[in-house]
Every structure is written in C-alpha cells, then in structure tokens.
Structure 1
C-alpha cells in the first residue's frame, strides 16, 4: 500500500472562502444568521409544519408549533378524512420542554403522534387541529408505494443561514419529480444555539413538500450547535483543549430537544438506550415500498481529535492540531488509526449486521447517513471531520453495508460526488452518493495532482475519474463530482453559486434492480429535457454492483422453481460469518465466495416454512460448473 507521511506544516483547513474574482461580496447579507427570528403569527397560523413517516403500518408524526400564548390550549388533535368527514384518530399534548442555551430562551413547542394499524393501502388526507379549533394544518399521508415499479428519493444537505430566502425553485422541482421520500442528511440549519427560530424557518422553506411526503431529517454538527462533531458516545470534552473547537456534544438538554424536533417522526429506534449524559439514540430502519432504508448516526459514536491527541501523547508521539487536522511529523498516516477508535460504534454496527439479513417484503436496501466513508475531496491534507477516519472502523462500516448490497446516500461535504468504496481492493464495496449542498458557501473540490493510483474509470470523459487512495489510505473510485465553477451562477445560486449547489435524486427501479443517481443544480427547470444535470450525472448502477468484491470461487448455480425472487444468504462454515444476503432478481443465481472451503446457502423466505438450507457446499473454481435445483 502507498505510504503517506504526515507533514508537520501542511494546513488541512484550506477550505476558507476564496475571494471573488470580480467583486467583494458581503457574505453576512441581511438574510444571515443574526436576522432569523421567530415571527409573530396569528393563532390560526401557530402550526408551523409537519414531519411524518409511515413504516409497517405505524404512522409517526411530529408537529412543530410557533410559541403559544399562556392562555392557549396545549392539546392538539390529529384527524383523518373518512367518507367526507373528519374523524379523530389521536390526541397529543404540546411539549414545552426548554432548549438549554445561553443564546436563546426557547421551548420545544412540539406535539408527537403515533398511530398503529394505519391503513397504508390508500392515500389519506389528514388534519392537525389546535388552539381549540382556531389553528388547522392539512396534508396527505401517502399510501405505501409497494406496487410502484420505481421508488424515488430526493436527498438534501447543507441549508446554510447565508441564504435565508424561500426555496421556490426546489419546491417547484420536487413537486414535478414527485419523490416518494425526502431525506435531509444534516445541517438543516446553522442556528448554533438558536434552534427553534431556524427550525421554524426551515419549515417555512420546505413545509410545502414535507406535509405531503414521508420525510427523514437527521441532525448533523450545525444542527446541534457545533462547527464539527465527534460525538464520542456523548462524552463531555468541554474542558479539553486540543485546538479543535466543538468536540463532543454541548449541553445534553439542547441536543435532546434538537433530536426531538428533527427525529421523533422516525420509526422507533432499534435500541433507544441513551448514550452518556442522557442523550438519545435514533438509528433505525424505514421501509418505503420494497426498499429498506437504514438510518444511521455516523457522528454520535465517532472518536474525537481529543481522544487521538490523548493517545498520541500517551505514546510519546509529537503532535499538533490545526483545525480538524493533525500534524505528526515523520509518522505514517496509519498512526492516526489508533486502537479502540470508533466510527459507527459497536451497538450501531450490530444493528447494521442484523438489518443486512432482514429481507421480508424487501427487494433493495440503502443506508442513509450524514456523510460518506472516505475523504472524497482534495482541499487540504487530512480532515478528521470526514468519515475516512478512523480507518479500521471505517473499513468495518463499509464491509457491513456491502453485505446487504446497499447504496449509501449522504451529504455534508459541500461537494457532490459519486464514489465506490474499496477495502482490500478498489471497487470491492458499495457506491456512495454524496449530494450537493442546498446553498453551498464552502469551497471543496476533487482535483488530485496525480494520475489515478489504480485504474481510470473506463469510458469516462470526466477528468480525475478513477481509483485513488484518499489521504487516510482508504481506497475509493471516483465516478463524478461537481467542482465549483462560475458557470453555476444564477438567480437561486448567486454569490456562492459557483460552489455547485443543488440536490440529489435517486431512482430505484424495483423491476430491473437498477439504481439511477441524478444531481440537479439550483434554479433549473427539471421538466425541460434540454436542461442538463451536473457533468457526469446521471449515473446508473446495478444493485449487485454494491458488492463489487471479486470472487475467489463460486458455489453451484441455484435454479429455483415455485418461487420468484427468493432471498439467498451465504454463510462461510469455517468462520460462521454471513457473507451476504440478497433477494435475487428472478430464479437463477450463482453465489460468489471469497475463499476455498465449504459454505451454507439459505434460499427462500428466510425464517419461514418457505426456506431451504444447503450445507457443506464446496467452493468451485468455475462459475456455473454445477447446478443446484431448489423446488418450492
């Protein structure tokens, strides 16, 4: 493997805003952070916006209110339309728990609804009623799109305070593209201690699309008041001085209220056990039609630079930190991969291991998180804020999600990319789509000063597309990126428009098992067939491309009768490891394996009477050399 030495003087944080060529621009324009306040609204407008999900016939909804007067009722009701009449289905009390912060004196003003046995076979009109009927808010709970051939996800990140305008270009385009799910991967706001005002503003910007579609919002660093975030499982690092601000979470009450507002509508957590200082955990899964989405928290358990500094100092290794970048003169970059470092955390990895094996009613799987598992930008040298660090737990995360043949959708990096992860070799793992920021004020780019470390992407006309080591020695293959360019300037992407803002759209074709990733600039008309996406997009892959690991040997080709699209699971009998689980497309499949030996194959609907197991199957040197007929 290529060795990278950590220079002592190279600054990592080369991400500061570049001077504009033509004129100076005041980045603190009147729409900036300090100008966002909670407006006075009339009682009939006190319901701000709604977030909901519908999973396994359980509806969960969060209703965000504007502050109520002391005399106004705290009771709110959820109704649905039945045979032309509104019918009450649930009642809730509006929470007034405080955000604990020195910057504002706010309360949560949220109401939570949970309704089981919801009829998900039809679209249903709903209404939230509050303040003794003075305030109402209506929307649509969509039917479960189990019968759709294509499931569409719209993905966003980075809703900076530098542009507090409404987002009519996005709203218009999203309504035209009509996705089945909205995913906001983090930095929904940059309130930094004044969450409520900014969160209500987020609702004014996006409420017209969240009211009628299931929505996932997962908080990232800026949502909880940090410039960067290494959660450390909730550990308090406030007294640790390392030269990197905002390590760990701040006041736990503030974090809990942010997570209540943004994540209470998600399906129940896989393991709700709080982390340190009582901060919750929300990682879970959500089914939309036959697509299963794992929703994970890739900052909450992650080790911090403070822990790294503690380790290096304890080993007698000279070190300094500049921003999120360590400097360890004369040492290989592997020294940063210290024993015991965490990324996803043990309990979250256990969830992903189990999730990868569950395929009831599922045909494709996807992981949603804050950011990608690599440093897929070349601004600066080392950047511990990326999930390319720590390296060993990064590899463990990548190895886990590829067992489900899962795509990874994420954001945060201010640079749209499509990459394929590698662990032992390039292209041996899942694809990642890091979507562009809604309004991108932070310069990052992919522009390596060398040829690919491995092979270029065959047939690509994209410069710098190919196999590379990132600066943590992780393998990644770059297929597309949206570098900053002046040509992206337009009405909705002014000032910082050249930093390539926009959003991602992902289309899952259930019939063909193809996945198409689209990357749309701000301010374009997506209904105009002449309007291009960012160069390099769209990109279409096959579901099975998400486990690109090369076979060492094969098992007998499965020929299945009496069942369409069965689940196939392959287990290495020597290690007892589940190598992968997949619902195949059709009735024929040749399992690949990665060592010689014997294997167990489970076929059918697992853990039901319609499952068959075949043990001690020997690895074969040639694909298709033998056939195993499986009859149901």
Structure 2
C-alpha cells in the first residue's frame, strides 16, 4: 500500500512539474517583434485573436491542405494552427489506395507561419487519389488530389481576389457556386489577407472560408501587397522601404515575415523558374503550371517594380497618385524604371517559346493598364495611378509584347473593379486580352471606370448596354479597348468572382463574371452586365 501511495505522489509531482514547465517555457525568439504577435512567442497566454480563434481543440489543429501537381511532382502544404511547445511539429501525409491509408511522407512544421511542405516525386496524375494529413493521434484533414484533366476539351479556372476583412463572415455563396460549376483549378490573385500584421490568423481565416473550394482541386495562390503588410508594393528587388506607404520601393516589414507569408501561400506552387533570392534573402516564386493542356505562367508583377518616390516629380496628394490634368505621361516613363524586371521578362520569353501547342494564360496580381478613373470615393478622380501596371509604360510594353507573342490571355485581380480589356501595344487592339476579376468583398475600397467627358470610345462593344466601352487612352496614354466593366453601383454588386473556360481545341476563351449573391444552381442566375464574353486566340 505504501508503494502505491508513493507512486501516486511521484506521478502527481511529475505532472505538476510538467505543468510548471509548460507555463515557464521561454518564448520562441522571433526574428520580428512587431508583427504576427498573436501566433508566435507565448501565443497561448495572449488575448483572444479578434480574427479567428487560435485556441482550437487539439483534434482540429490541421486547418487545411493546399496543393498543385506539376508534371509528376505533387507539392502540398499543410497549414496548422499554432502549437504548444510540447506538441510535436511532425505532420504526416497519407494516401488512400485500394481502400487502405498508407503514409508516404512526414514533414516538420515551421513555427513561423505553422505550415509544412510535402513534395512527392513520381506522382501518378492519371487518377484521383484521396489524401489525408495527420498530426498527433487525433487531428486529421482529408481531401482529393485530382487527376490531370489532359483529355478534356474545356479546362475551367475560377479566379478570385481581395478578401476584405470588412466582412469576417464565411463565404458560403462562393463555395456553393464554385463547387457547383466544378472548375478544374482555382486561382486566388492576392490580398487573401488584409490584416497586415497578423498574417497567420488571417490566412487561417481565409482557409476556413474557402477550403471547401480547394479541398478537392489544385489551387494557385499568390500574395499581393496587403498580404505582406503593405497598402501598396513596389518591390524593387527586395530593398528595405523606409517611407510611409512605401512609395520609395521595397518591403516595410522584416524579411522573415515576408518569407513566412510567401512560404504559406506559395510553397505548394511548382518550383520557381529561377530560385535565386532577391535582396534581404527574400525568395521568388514566379513559375508555370501545365494543367489539362493549359499552360499557366504565374508572375510576381510587384516584386521587381520600381517605386515612384524620388524618381519622378510628385504631382498629387501622394507620390503614386497623379492629379494634374496638364502632366505629360511621357515625362514619367524613365529608361531606368522597371516593371517585371529582366529576370521575369526572360522567363516570359522562354515560357512563350516552349510548349507552343498549349493554350497559354498569364496569371498575375494586377492589370497592365490604368483601368479606373475614380478611386475610393467619387471625389477622388486620378489622372494616373502608379500602383497599376500601366506604369512604367516601357515596362508594360515589354511585358505585353511577350504575352502577345505567346498568344496568351491575362487574368488578374487587385483592382476591385472587374474589367475585360483588349490591350493595345502600338495600336488599339494589337495586344492580349485581359480579364481583371472583381473583389470577393467590395466594400473596402471601390474603383470606377468613368471617363471624365462621359463619351463612349470609338468601336464600342455592341453586345452590352454599358455606356463607356470602346477605345480609350488610359492615364499613361496607353491604348486600351474597354469591353466590359462592373462599377460599384451596378445591380447585384458587392463582390464577385470570375470563371474562365478555355477550349483547348478551338482556342476560344469564355470570360464569366458572377456576382457574389448569385445562385448558379438556379436556372435564372444572371452574370454582371457585359458577361459572358467569348474571345478567340486563333490569329489573335
């Protein structure tokens, strides 16, 4: 009896010491102290996160998985909630074959961002396979690795951007609609997070909102300016930004924070074309993905772009906003300014000259022209917005020439304002088609296409009642042909998404633009005015 009592006392003492050890664990040494504070250090002792509950039951610590398959390589990121110090950092990947789950790999989570990357070579993409992520004894997450739809005549892509934090709710309409339309893959063009200094919580929130759209299909995600903690980004090859608002170019926050964001959002993409880091050791992810006969080039259109401050005269309330009706657009197109940068131009050229039988598509963060006149509020009419990729004009021209030589269409986000534009390089209409998709939630910062003279351009679109379509010069005197747009006062506006259908046999591309509140399961569901629109890449 004495031995039993002694054993109980020893066990209780051990448990007490273990509990004290848990309480007294020193905080992890974070390489940044002013960002992501609610998901690092002693996160469990901090106030509840206002974005999302981080203190979940331990059987729910795996939030989601996200993946792509490129050739015979599967890359899948497991995203977890923050873990306690004593919890294992190991996540296991299992595949179900012939009714049996088999572990194929285990990986370690990174305490900064709480993600782990699985890379499986010699992947068989000829069949659908169930996968399962496991942590500890109880936490599980299941999904499907889709087979490559190589023999389908039509490949479809759902495209979304700008997941405003003005609405913290779930995204049930999007999930219902996208799963009903069943695209072959999904693309999030940026601003998955608007919570600048709390990316982990916001990324987890995004995952909860949208994971049912990518649980069973490949997904491309690329971060934009808000994701890495800035209102605007001119990356300038990774230099440090020291000016409020960062118009001087570069990154405001610690490079480890930037790398964490890019690791969580892009590690599952195919390997980068050229993985050489930029300044501060920040990585790159520009690459391409071939899926079902469509070859997608994935760009980083802000990472190398020049910042305006100190390079051109300020002609408005901000270095990037020109509000001067007498300014000369040619005066701000200086030879040393960059848009995509030489590395990405080389990538685009190489990409365009290979796999030429495929349907070609360029995916990026924002559009390659100034596609809006009014920003934020109706009294904020700008003559030019240097955050758009209409500037610098020479850099835009180089990019569009390579996209056109590849006979590619361009899909982007960022602007909140949905548009279909036929780009002009030297003449109206001699460039690629471009579809900028609407914001997921459009009550954060609206934009309007609204020419000051309110005149329709030459060659207006005869298939829509929209008043201002046709050929225009944007604020940089770039030639653009506006085919359709969705201003904030449009019926059913409040957000939406794009669905793009690529017919790999006829080389027709159909742009669809769906309001957030549409129910595509109903036969009377209506798209925004001006859509759908079908264009041909034959002899484009």
Listed as ranges, the gaps of 5+ residues in structure 2 are 1-47, 375-380
Aligned to 2:81: 66
State the alpha-carbon separation in 2 of the partners of residues 51 and 255 from structure 1.
Answer: 19
Aligned to 2:489: 485
State the alpha-carbon separation in 1 of the partners of residues 396 and 168 from structure 2.
Answer: 35
Match of 2:368 among 350, 367, 373: 373
Whether the 8 Å contact between 2:160 and 2:188 is mirrored in structure 1 is yes
Question: 1:82-106: CA deviations, max 9, x gaps?
Answer: 111111111111111xxxxxxxxxx
State the alpha-carbon separation in 2 of the partners of residues 330 and 510 from structure 1.
Answer: 47
State the alpha-carbon separation in 1 of the partners of residues 275 and 325 from structure 2.
Answer: 42
Residue 448 of structure 2 aligns to a residue in which SS?
coil
Whether the 8 Å contact between 1:46 and 1:65 is mirrored in structure 2 is yes
Whether the 8 Å contact between 1:456 and 1:467 is mirrored in structure 2 is yes
- 1:277 matches 2:273: no
State the alpha-carbon separation in 2 of the partners of residues 293 and 397 from structure 1.
Answer: 15
Alignment CA distance shift 1:364-1:486 (3 Å): closer
Residue 140 of structure 1 aligns to a residue in which SS?
strand
Q: Per-residue deviation at 1:357?
A: 0.9
Match of 1:356 among 341, 348, 352: 352
Whether the 8 Å contact between 1:226 and 1:246 is mirrored in structure 2 is no
Aligned to 2:26: none
- 1:382 matches 2:384: yes
State the alpha-carbon separation in 2 of the partners of residues 216 and 129 from structure 1.
Answer: 23
Residue 414 of structure 1 aligns to a residue in which SS?
coil
State the alpha-carbon separation in 2 of the partners of residues 540 and 329 from structure 1.
Answer: 36
Match of 1:401 among 384, 400, 403: 403
Match of 1:163 among 167, 174, 181: 167
Match of 1:125 among 123, 130, 134: 130
State the alpha-carbon separation in 2 of the partners of residues 181 and 459 from structure 1.
Answer: 29
Runs of 4+ in 1 over 4 A off after TM superposition: 243-247, 318-321, 327-331
Whether the 8 Å contact between 1:244 and 1:321 is mirrored in structure 2 is no
Aligned to 2:295: 292
Aligned to 1:471: 475
Match of 1:337 among 310, 333, 336: 333
Aligned to 1:52: 67
Match of 2:415 among 413, 416, 419: 413
State the alpha-carbon separation in 2 of the partners of residues 121 and 453 from structure 1.
Answer: 49
Whether the 8 Å contact between 2:54 and 2:82 is mirrored in structure 1 is no
Whether the 8 Å contact between 2:457 and 2:469 is mirrored in structure 1 is no
Q: Per-residue deviation at 1:529?
A: 2.4
Whether the 8 Å contact between 2:63 and 2:207 is mirrored in structure 1 is yes
Residue 79 of structure 1 aligns to a residue in which SS?
strand
Whether the 8 Å contact between 1:156 and 1:504 is mirrored in structure 2 is yes
TM-score normalised to structure 1 length: 0.74
State the alpha-carbon separation in 1 of the partners of residues 497 and 463 from structure 2.
Answer: 26
Residue 347 of structure 1 aligns to a residue in which SS?
helix
State the alpha-carbon separation in 2 of the partners of residues 54 and 134 from structure 1.
Answer: 28
- 1:254 matches 2:257: yes
Bigger Cα displacement from structure 2, 443-452 vs 44-53:
443-452
Whether the 8 Å contact between 1:228 and 1:246 is mirrored in structure 2 is no
Match of 2:148 among 130, 144, 147: 144
Bigger Cα displacement from structure 2, 342-351 vs 328-337:
328-337
Alignment CA distance shift 1:426-1:85 (3 Å): same
Alignment CA distance shift 1:181-1:302 (3 Å): same
Match of 1:423 among 416, 422, 425: 425
Aligned to 1:135: 139
Question: 1:190-244: CA deviations, max 9, x gaps?
Answer: 0111101111111110111222110011000000000111111111121x47x76
- Return the structure number with greater helix share: 2
Q: Per-residue deviation at 1:34?
A: 8.0
State the alpha-carbon separation in 1 of the partners of residues 338 and 49 from structure 2.
Answer: 36
- 1:215-230 equivalences in 2 (<5 Å): 215-230=219-234
Question: 1:98-132: CA deviations, max 9, x gaps?
Answer: xxxxxxxxx3111110001111000000111112x
State the alpha-carbon separation in 1 of the partners of residues 116 and 157 from structure 2.
Answer: 26
Residue 544 of structure 1 aligns to a residue in which SS?
coil
State the alpha-carbon separation in 2 of the partners of residues 536 and 93 from structure 1.
Answer: 48
Residue 261 of structure 1 aligns to a residue in which SS?
helix
Alignment CA distance shift 1:330-1:430 (3 Å): closer
Alignment CA distance shift 1:246-1:45 (3 Å): farther
Whether the 8 Å contact between 1:457 and 1:467 is mirrored in structure 2 is no
Whether the 8 Å contact between 2:92 and 2:107 is mirrored in structure 1 is yes
- 1:513 matches 2:507: yes
Alignment CA distance shift 1:210-1:34 (3 Å): same
Aligned to 1:530: 524
Residue 335 of structure 1 aligns to a residue in which SS?
helix
Whether the 8 Å contact between 2:247 and 2:309 is mirrored in structure 1 is no
Question: 1:512-547: CA deviations, max 9, x gaps?
Answer: 2211000000121112221210000000011236x4
State the alpha-carbon separation in 2 of the partners of residues 507 and 228 from structure 1.
Answer: 31
State the alpha-carbon separation in 2 of the partners of residues 337 and 414 from structure 1.
Answer: 26
Whether the 8 Å contact between 1:453 and 1:469 is mirrored in structure 2 is no
Alignment CA distance shift 1:260-1:34 (3 Å): same
